[in-house]
Structure 1
Amino acid sequence: MKPHSHDLFDESTMSFGDHLEALRVHLWKALIGLAICVVGALFIGHKIVAVVRAPIDAALKEYNLDPRTEENSEEKQQKTVAELIASLNSRQEHTAESKALQEILLDYQHRIDNLEEKMSEPVTLAVQEAFTTIYLKVSFVAGLVFASPWVIYQIWQFVAAGLYPHERKYVYVYLPISIFLFLGGALFCFYAVFPFVLNFLLGFNKLLGVNPQIRLSEWISFAITLPLMFGLSFQLPLIMLFLERISIFTVKDYHEKRRMAVLIISVISMLMTPADPMSMVLMMMPLIMLYELGILMCKYFPSANASPFETA
Structure 2
Amino acid sequence: MARKVDPNNMSFLDHVEELRWCLIRSIIGILVGAIVAFVARKFIFDTVIFGPIKKDFVTYQFFCKIGRLVGIESEFCDPNFNFILQSREMSDLFSVHIWTSITVGFVVAFPYVLWQVWKFISPGLKQQERKYSSGFIIISSILFFIGVVFGYYVIAPLSVHFMLTYELSDFVETQPSIQSYVAYIRASALASGILFELPIIIYFLTKIGLATPAGMRKGRKFALVAILIVAAIITPPDIASQVIVAIPVLILYEISIYISKFVLMRDARRKRKLAT
Shift of 1:208: 3.8
Determine the structure 1 residue equivalent to 2:138: 176
Q: Which gives a bigger RCO, structure 1 or 2 (Cα 8 Å, sep 6+)? A: 1
Deviations 1:211-252 (A, max 9, x none): 422322211111111222212222223334444454445433
Give the alignment partner of residue 45 of structure 1, picking from 41, 48, 53.
41
Post-superposition offset of 1:299: 3.8
Amino acid at match of 2:32: I
Asked if 1 retains the 8 angstrom alpha-carbon contact of 2:196 and 2:249, the reply is: yes
SS in 2 for 1:217: helix
**Superposition TM-score, scaled by structure 2 size:** 0.72
Q: Which residues in structure 2 correspond to 1:227-306 (within 5 Å)?
A: 227-271=189-233, 273=234, 276-277=237-238, 279-300=241-262, 303-305=265-267
Structure 2 unaligned blocks of 5 or more: 61-72, 271-276
How many residues end up aligned between the 2 structures? 246
Other-structure match for 1:126: 89
Equivalent in the alignment of 1:202:
164
> TM-score when scaled to structure 1?
0.65
CA contact (8 A) 1:55 1:194 kept: yes
User: 2-side partners of 1:267 and 1:125: how far apart?
Assistant: 33
Distance, in Å, in 1 between the alignment partners of 2:139 and 2:268 is: 18
Match of 1:214 among 166, 176, 189: 176
Inter-partner Cα distance in structure 2 for 1:295 and 1:122: 44
Partner of 2:52: 55
User: Compared with structure 1, are the counterparts of its residues 307 and 31 closer, same or farther at alpha carbon in structure 2 (3 Å cutoff)?
Assistant: farther
Structure 1 distance, partners of 2:147, 2:158, is 16
8 Å CA contact retained: 2:155, 2:188: no
Distance of 2:30 and 2:253 partners within structure 1: 35
Q: 1:208 to 1:59 in 2, by over 3 A?
A: farther
AA partner of residue 200 (structure 2)? L
Query: Quick check: 1:57–1:122 contact (8 Å CA) kept in 2?
Result: no
Q: CA deviation at 1:307?
A: 9.3
Structure 1 pair 27–239 and aligned structure 2 pair: CA distance change class (3 A)? closer
Q: 1:188: Cα distance to partner?
A: 0.7
The Cα of 1:67 is off from its aligned counterpart by 10
Identical pairs, percent: 27
| Compared CA separation, residues 125 and 292, structure 1 to 2 (3 A) | same
SS class of match (1:58): coil
Which has the greater radius of gyration? 1
CA distance 1:34–1:265, shift in 2 (3 Å): closer
2:64 maps to what in 1?
Answer: none
CA distance 1:192–1:259, shift in 2 (3 Å): same
5+ residue gaps, structure 1, are 1-8, 69-115
Name which of 144, 148, 165 aligns with 1:186.
Answer: 148
